[in-house]
Structure 1
Amino acid sequence: METYKAQPRQQNRRLKQRTGGKVLLAAFATVSTILFLAFIGYFFYLLGALPKVDRLADYRPPILSQVYGADGALVGEFYLERRTVVPVDKMPKRLIQAFVSAEDSNFYQHKGIDYVGIARAAFKNLISMRKKEGASTITQQVAKSMLLTPEKKFSRKLKEAILAKRMEERLSKDEILYIYLNQIYLGAGAYGVQLAAETYFGKEVENLNLAEMAMLAGLPKAPNSYSPIKHLDRAKERQAYVLERMVKEGYITQAEAQYAKATPIVIQPLKKVNAEQSAYFLEQVRQQLVQKYGEERLYKDGLKIYTTMNGEMQKAAYTSVVNGLKAVDKRQGFRGAAKYLQEAEVEPFCKKVEDEIDDLSLKEGNVYQGVVTGVDPAKRELTVQVGERTGTVPRKNMEWAGKLELIPRFGKPEAKRAIGLGAVLELQVKVPDQNRTGAVFALDQAPEAQAALIALDPLTGGVRAMVGGYDFKKSQFNRAMQAKRNPGSAFKPVIYAAALDNGMTTASVIDDSQVEYESGAEKAWKPKNYDNVYRGPVTMREALTESINVVSVKILEQIGVGTAIEYAKKIGITSPLASNLTLALGSSSVTPIELTSAYAVFASGGYRTTPYFVTKVLDRDGNVLEETAEPKIPVFSRMSSAGEGDENTAPGENGEGAAPKPAEAGLNSAAGGAFPVIPPETAFIMTNLMQSVVTSGTGGRARAVGRPVAGKTGTTNDMKDAWFVGYVPQLVAGVWVGYDQERSLGAGGSGGQAAAPIWTDFMQRALAGLPVKSFPTPGNVTFALIDPRTGHLAREGTPGAVQECFIAGTEPTSYGAEPQADAGGAP
């Protein structure tokens, strides 16, 4: 009975098991059907949502816009991706074969997806238990790069496969290769094979040899890891792999591969554009172009931008500013190490520095941050490490810093004038390293003061060079264009020119004696001379030559502040000016470009031009988008006594030296035109006066230029601002030196000591190779021998008599024995 009773229970259990299995099977079939339908739906959704392949037929990738100087030399670039597009027929056949062998050996056989390659990669990855090999074809890489985002998702891989199939249906293999080889990133900021060939080997792509082609073809896998600049050994290993792949595919013989492996690789990139030295100029151009054409067009459309920059002058400006600021800064003493590292921090810091160095060897003259890793107190020598390179700082290369205490231990020393292990220093390369050792450095220091330099062609207004600060990477504020600072005595020529056009002459005598003016406040204003010396009666020439403050104030008082302000506006000063007598001492802030362009009026013979930077812009197809014709300013036919003939000489219509009419000035919209604003005679006399500043006065350092120079120094109260603005017939330049947050420049911070050396060094470099020219003399200028004590004519043999220049009809007509002591005009 028990057995009989148990039988139905077993049958029920089996029945339940069969029923449960059917339910599970039905559920699985239902879920599978749903998933399949969902996948089909998603697949068709993807088909509808995928980007169109047709647009690849007109491949127009982002290409770099290039900036050229006035001589046609490349001076800068703007880009999101640094690329130059070249057609397939310009690419060597073996270069294409090298990339195909390394990246997609079945490229010419498959239709977008390499199923054999997928199986091979899957097998290798399974054996190694990691992703050792990918299976994306060149076509898939183009699809991902051009049509998709780089996200690592299944959906992206599915889209990539679908698009690759579509591309193969619509594009030829050559068209796909054209896109791929121009689009691919190959390291060192280079996109496409043309830029890579230039970046690594300094060659056009069609001039590469087999060894170089194979090296480029090895880069796509890991451009930074296989960079021939930084890792030549790894690059050669990868090159050997590519060559062996080419042998296997039948593109080259084994002998050719061996020859290519043995071919020396010479890393000789084309001379890079030094964006650092032109950064402020290029930023000004960039801002103008973005405002006019937009960022999208500037960074992606391959514009050709021609500018007024003279490349050699720009280099000279940058070098002079950097060297001059360092000289100013070092006079203030050594400020100590930038920071101190513990021993464990040295290696990570050096690795970070090395990652930022793109050169095989450190460049002579360049400044790098390095760490002190050894100290020899006996020799007074440091061992230092810059990135992965080692070198020394000998005693003589630290002497400017005075007597330093050298401490052979880690940790920040208590003494300010001390250097210990782990100190991070600014180091200038004197002797480059060889195989990363043996470099010799000099202790350096990043200046805290700033400077600006701007140089113009006085006849056109074209900006030839501009530096807006010490380091653009640290501060993009362009002090040449934006900084409004008090010009001090550098403003005096504006006052003196206004005086010449309002009844005074170079022989006018003014009493240099103390004076007091009611200011409406509790204290009266008493202008003082810089040297606290008062000379009594002096001529205008002596007053400007010696930069006498009191006389300048008295001149302004005589002609009237309002008259001077209107005159300043006429010659290009646009900033608001103080309507009081302190204006004579440069109490109103102006920008360096304003003051320099005002001086250009004197240099050009009385013509005002608007400074400009861009002369022509072309689009990627060579169409002219804009073009600026340079203004034409006649040069007077009569030259000064030391002058020579000038090919630009143009006599006036009413006789020798006559001023042209405004309509003759050649106005143009971009440059602002050129038109006469003051008489040429006034411009010449001001030039003559400022030549005296250089030959006999505060601007004496500029004599080192070794040619006719006119200019004026400027120093403000407490030496917070130092200026020198000056010119030769071909070039006018202004230099300002100071701290962004106003404070004294300290010892040696006057215009003659801080700014004039920078100006002089720049002019010596910038004018090298240019002919020496004298300032042309208008026909309406006469010369007379005068007695500077009285301002009257002098007889032959009169002690101290000088030859003075006048506008015809204003020269003295009488001889006098007694000196004048009033503040009047011409005697």
Structure 2
Amino acid sequence: MLNRFFIPWFIGASLFIAAGKLCFAAPPDVGAALDKFTDYRPPLTTTVYDKDGRVLAYFFRQNRFPIVMDQLPSYLKQAFIATEDSAFYIHDGVDPKAVFRSFSNNVRTGTRQQGGSTITQQLVKTMVLSSDKTYFRKIEEAVLACQLEKRLSKEQILSIYLNEIYMGAGAYGVEAAARTYFNKPAHALSLAEAALLAGLPKAPSRLNPHQAPDKAKERQRYVLDRMLADHFITTQQHRQAWEEHLIYMRMPDPTWKTGSYYLAEVQRWLETHLSREHLNPQGIFLSQYGKDALYEGGLHIYTAFDPVFHQAARDALAQGLTQLAPDRDRNRPRLQGALFSMDLHSGEVKALIGGDDYHYTQFNRATQARRQSGSLFKPIVFSTALAYGYTAASPVMDAPFSIYLSATDEIWAPQNVSGEFTGPTLLCTALARSINVVAARVALQVGIPKVIAQARQMGITSYLPQVPSISLGAGETTLMEMVRAYSAFPRGGAIIQPRMVLSIYDRDGQRILHNRVQTKQAMSPQTAYIMTDMLKQCVERGTGRRARIKGLPVAGKTGTSNGIRDAWFVGFTPDLLTGVFMGFDDGSPMGEQGFGGRAAAPVWAAYHGAVADRYKSKEFEIPENIVFGTVFHDGTFMGPGWRENGITLAFEKGTEPKYVPPSHAWPPGLYPDLSD
């Protein structure tokens, strides 16, 4: 019996004595292993902020926040030392007394439960070694611990330990643990709270105070007893901490609670734009890229997310969906909607709603859904026409026609929604009344390739078939694409790239990326303004009348796809551009209430009305070489400026129609009530 216990004890003790000697002559591979400590860069939690610097979300693989040792209360550090390694400031990496005590207990019990590891040894085991419980692994651990103590100070080792140690409930390090268990940062912990945290590393899951408060409290009192025995605290402090009532509460995590569709798009953007392929050409080089950088880099990401605009958008969309489908929660398929809104000067995305409920479906209908845009595409057609000699007063025949499509061996004959035809029609009137036949005729006269080229210039990247029906929105696009395309009109012809992420800082506070404003000229300022003026008439007198807001200049266009399956409205004021989409995911018809002017425009108006006070009221800026004149219904010019019984339009200087004094009255019904 004696030999059975003595021999393993003797061998183990001898091995550790040998390990002690090895501390002074480390094996050649020790240096590489210790580099993990001298260049300690643990996985950290990335924090995402809204426009006001409030936390919007956390992204991580290991929930860990870095600590600053100087800011921690001394009793927090002392609690861990008293519990885990009371000789921490004395030994050189291995505590001989603890080693022999551990071996004695293990030999006596016939188990290997007590390891006698110092804080330094625990770090080595956690970061560079396996968790095998063998004596040879313990020797390796001891050698590395001794060498580590030569490289780093005690304060550096303790700092790494307090950052690295797993504390249960998904929390790594004392900062994450303080937030997880006490809803406060580590520097604000009381002695009683610090003692509870110091007791967790022994068995983080079993001692989790959220699940086992009695066991956690028992362990906390053991820690307090150790602190008293080591003279870290007084008897009075011990008693007060012993009796303190602890309140366990997680720090609220806003992730996926507010602006989930916005956040998901930010996440997708980051995973792509933090790649080596995107950053290296900009002269930006990181130790990690892509998802590794996002989920382990401890980045600080600042976004344009605005909670006020988000709430206004959410309320407007919910109200619109409820009015269209009061029983939608009980119906399948479920009517969905989306809203995308951005500042026209900075490109900052103020609000992004991708559906009625992110937890119901994470599919983002503002950025991922490609749907037929219907008449929403017509301003692209008409802006192309303006660039090739048309004016807002150009008369175009609204009459039936058909063409043969050799590619499909079919006859294509566009139809108006009303089923009626009005003969010669001004371009501005055709846009306001959303006359299909005129749009199709103009596209064919200008050339479908030129229309598609203009769409590309305006930022449309989705596939656009080179067929005549593209003029009526047969191509499938995303809401974000259409909003970006429309940004050319109020911005003097230059589209602006939507920006959700504004800047990114690394864990050390150094800025690594600034997402600058990106613009591209897509048309002349004069064409852009004439289109803006025509789109104002769409709202004032045309199909977008439900988007009117008293006291605000509003321009925009409705869109409805074939079969009333997709309803759109994209409109803008001088400062804010917003698009709204409504429809079923499976493309089911919405019925007579599903036209863009009825379904989408009221949502737009409710949202813009709610945030109107965020901007100063002003008119659209007029570029040089723009003149105004009044025309008759057949396009003849009645004279410069505004004239009674006429329609005032914008023209590029020199393109005004020939002046003809009016000899007959303005015909009634040119602009019928199209609000339905």
Q: What is the TM-score when the length of structure 1 is the normalising length?
A: 0.65
Matches within 5 A, 1:645-656: none
Paired residue type of 1:527: P
Match of 1:793, SS?
A: strand
Percentage identity across paired residues of the two chains? 37
Matches within 5 A, 1:644-793: 671=518, 674-703=519-548, 707-739=552-584, 741-745=586-590, 748-756=593-601, 758-760=603-605, 762-764=607-609, 769-788=614-633, 792-793=637-638
- May I ask how many residue pairs the two structures share in their alignment? 635
Alignment partners' CA distance in 1, 2:319 and 2:274: 31
Q: 1:181 to 1:618 in 2, by over 3 A?
A: same
Paired residue type of 1:262: E
Paired residue type of 1:177: L
Greater Cα shift, 543-552 or 173-182: 543-552
Match of 2:269 among 281, 284, 288: 284
Match of 1:554, SS?
A: helix
Match of 2:70 among 54, 75, 89: 89
Answering whether residue 480 of structure 2 is matched by residue 495 of structure 1, we say no
Alignment partners' CA distance in 2, 1:154 and 1:624: 47
Q: 1:333 to 1:309 in 2, by over 3 A?
A: closer
Q: 1:549 to 1:79 in 2, by over 3 A?
A: same
Greater Cα shift, 511-520 or 320-329: 320-329
How far has the Cα of 1:95 moved from its partner? Answer: 0.8
Paired residue type of 2:372: N
Aligned partner of 1:175 in structure 2 is 156
Aligned partner of 2:483 in structure 1 is 596
Aligned partner of 2:660 in structure 1 is 814
Answering whether residue 341 of structure 2 is matched by residue 455 of structure 1, we say yes
Q: 1:583 to 1:218 in 2, by over 3 A?
A: same
How far has the Cα of 1:178 moved from its partner? Answer: 0.9
Q: 1:335 to 1:597 in 2, by over 3 A?
A: closer
Matches within 5 A, 1:383-532: 452-466=338-352, 480-520=366-406, 524-532=411-419
Is the 2:336–2:356 Cα contact (8 Å) retained in structure 1?
yes
Is the 2:494–2:520 Cα contact (8 Å) retained in structure 1?
yes
Match of 2:472 among 568, 585, 607: 585
Match of 2:244 among 254, 258, 262: 262
Q: 1:566 to 1:200 in 2, by over 3 A?
A: same
Q: 1:675 to 1:620 in 2, by over 3 A?
A: same
Q: 1:614 to 1:557 in 2, by over 3 A?
A: same
Aligned partner of 1:378 in structure 2 is none
Is the 2:544–2:557 Cα contact (8 Å) retained in structure 1?
yes
Q: 1:325 to 1:676 in 2, by over 3 A?
A: same
How far has the Cα of 1:93 moved from its partner? Answer: 0.2
Paired residue type of 1:143: V
Paired residue type of 1:282: Q
Is the 1:719–1:745 Cα contact (8 Å) retained in structure 2?
yes
Greater Cα shift, 609-618 or 181-190: 609-618
Q: 1:189 to 1:706 in 2, by over 3 A?
A: farther
Match of 1:334 among 330, 348, 359: 330
Segments of structure 2 that go 5 or more residues without pairing to the other structure are 280-285, 668-676
Paired residue type of 2:388: N
How far has the Cα of 1:576 moved from its partner? Answer: 4.3
Greater Cα shift, 179-188 or 802-811: 802-811
How far has the Cα of 1:623 moved from its partner? Answer: 4.5
How far has the Cα of 1:162 moved from its partner? Answer: 4.1
Paired residue type of 1:494: I
Answering whether residue 448 of structure 2 is matched by residue 561 of structure 1, we say yes
Greater Cα shift, 621-630 or 562-571: 621-630
Is the 1:702–1:757 Cα contact (8 Å) retained in structure 2?
yes
Q: 1:779 to 1:47 in 2, by over 3 A?
A: closer
Alignment partners' CA distance in 1, 2:356 and 2:104: 58
Match of 2:81, SS?
A: helix
Is the 1:790–1:818 Cα contact (8 Å) retained in structure 2?
no
Paired residue type of 2:652: I
Alignment partners' CA distance in 2, 1:55 and 1:795: 78
Aligned partner of 2:673 in structure 1 is none
How far has the Cα of 1:49 moved from its partner? Answer: 6.2
Aligned partner of 1:149 in structure 2 is 130
Alignment partners' CA distance in 1, 2:214 and 2:321: 41
Q: 1:707 to 1:129 in 2, by over 3 A?
A: farther
Is the 1:332–1:746 Cα contact (8 Å) retained in structure 2?
no
How far has the Cα of 1:92 moved from its partner? Answer: 1.0
Answering whether residue 211 of structure 2 is matched by residue 211 of structure 1, we say no
Match of 1:246, SS?
A: helix
Alignment partners' CA distance in 1, 2:624 and 2:550: 28
Q: 1:124 to 1:538 in 2, by over 3 A?
A: farther
Answering whether residue 71 of structure 2 is matched by residue 101 of structure 1, we say no
Paired residue type of 1:781: I
Greater Cα shift, 231-240 or 246-255: 231-240
Answering whether residue 230 of structure 2 is matched by residue 249 of structure 1, we say yes
Deviations 1:383-408 (A, max 9, x none): xxxxxxxxxxxxxxxxxxxxxxxxxx
Choose 1 or 2 for highest CA Rg.
1
Alignment partners' CA distance in 1, 2:580 and 2:385: 25
Alignment partners' CA distance in 1, 2:111 and 2:608: 64
Aligned partner of 2:672 in structure 1 is none
Alignment partners' CA distance in 2, 1:230 and 1:542: 69
Match of 2:439 among 540, 543, 552: 552
Paired residue type of 1:497: S
How far has the Cα of 1:489 moved from its partner? Answer: 0.8
Alignment partners' CA distance in 2, 1:309 and 1:72: 10
How far has the Cα of 1:719 moved from its partner? Answer: 3.0
How far has the Cα of 1:59 moved from its partner? Answer: 2.5
Is the 1:790–1:820 Cα contact (8 Å) retained in structure 2?
no
Is the 1:539–1:791 Cα contact (8 Å) retained in structure 2?
no
Paired residue type of 2:438: V
Q: 1:517 to 1:712 in 2, by over 3 A?
A: same
Alignment partners' CA distance in 1, 2:99 and 2:592: 74
Alignment partners' CA distance in 1, 2:420 and 2:217: 74
Paired residue type of 2:274: L
Deviations 1:140-196 (A, max 9, x none): 321222112345666544543443344445544322211111112234543222333
Q: 1:504 to 1:206 in 2, by over 3 A?
A: same
Q: 1:129 to 1:694 in 2, by over 3 A?
A: farther
Deviations 1:300-328 (A, max 9, x none): 44444455555654666667667766776
Is the 1:789–1:820 Cα contact (8 Å) retained in structure 2?
no
Match of 1:52, SS?
A: helix
Alignment partners' CA distance in 2, 1:699 and 1:767: 18
Is the 1:281–1:466 Cα contact (8 Å) retained in structure 2?
no
How far has the Cα of 1:86 moved from its partner? Answer: 2.5
Alignment partners' CA distance in 2, 1:136 and 1:760: 67
How far has the Cα of 1:480 moved from its partner? Answer: 4.3
Is the 2:443–2:468 Cα contact (8 Å) retained in structure 1?
yes
Q: What is the TM-score when the length of structure 2 is the normalising length?
A: 0.78
Is the 1:735–1:755 Cα contact (8 Å) retained in structure 2?
yes
Paired residue type of 1:516: S
Q: 1:773 to 1:252 in 2, by over 3 A?
A: farther
Alignment partners' CA distance in 2, 1:803 and 1:232: 77
